[in-house]
């Protein structure tokens, strides 16, 4: 049974290949060429500088804060200002439409990407791939 399967498989390969007779066509070789092609991509902005994050220290007890200078009693100063009639000032402010602030974490750049281009080229030898 196994021998029959092997013989049938060999016959199918021989038929698909055109048999062992004269080949009327040259085998085609596929070559992959990589060419640079600019593609628009979203890339994150580069990090300029890392800022350290300071964590607060909890459970700190301050018993005494030294005073560098003696505390002076503050006396209110009375200033006599002439009474002026208050006139309402009309300011013409243009109405501005509020626009929500959007954080742009990405910017659009043209980045070269290698795109494979398939070229059909006949092989140089006879019967070789």
Interacting residues of 112 by C-beta distance below 8 A, sequence separation 6+: 36, 37, 38, 39
Element (H, E) at 90: none
What is the 3 state secondary structure string of 8-30?
Answer: HHHHHHHHHCCCCCCCCCCCEEE
Residue 18 lies in a domain: no
Residue 59 lies in a domain: no
Let me know if 118 is exposed, middle or buried by CB neighbors in 10 A (0-12, 13-18, 19+): exposed
pTM of the prediction?
Answer: 0.16
Question: Domain containing 30: what range?
Answer: 26-45+105-123
On the question of pLDDT at 2 being above 80, the answer is no
Residue 39 lies in a domain: yes
At residue 3, the pLDDT reads 62
Look at the chain and report how many structural domains it folds into. 1
Mean pLDDT, rounded, for 8-24: 57
Residue 30 lies in a domain: yes
pLDDT tens-digit readout, 65-108: 666 766 677 888 888 888 888 888 888 888 888 888 877 777 78
On the question of pLDDT at 20 being above 70, the answer is no
């Amino acid at each position: 049974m196994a021998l029959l399967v092997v013989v049938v498989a060999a016959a199918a390969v021989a038929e698909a290949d055109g048999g062992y007779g004269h080949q009327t066509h040259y085998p085609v070789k596929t070559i992959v060429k990589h060419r640079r092609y600019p593609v628009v991509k979203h890339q994150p902005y580069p990090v300029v500088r890392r800022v350290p994050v300071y964590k607060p220290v909890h459970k700190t007890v301050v018993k005494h804060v030294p005073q560098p200078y003696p505390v002076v009693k503050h006396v209110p100063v009375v200033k006599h200002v002439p009474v002026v009639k208050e006139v309402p000032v009309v300011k013409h402010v243009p109405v501005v439409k509020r626009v929500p602030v959007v954080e742009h974490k990405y910017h659009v750049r043209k980045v070269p990407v290698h795109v494979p281009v398939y070229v059909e080229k006949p092989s140089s030898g006879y019967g070789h791939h």
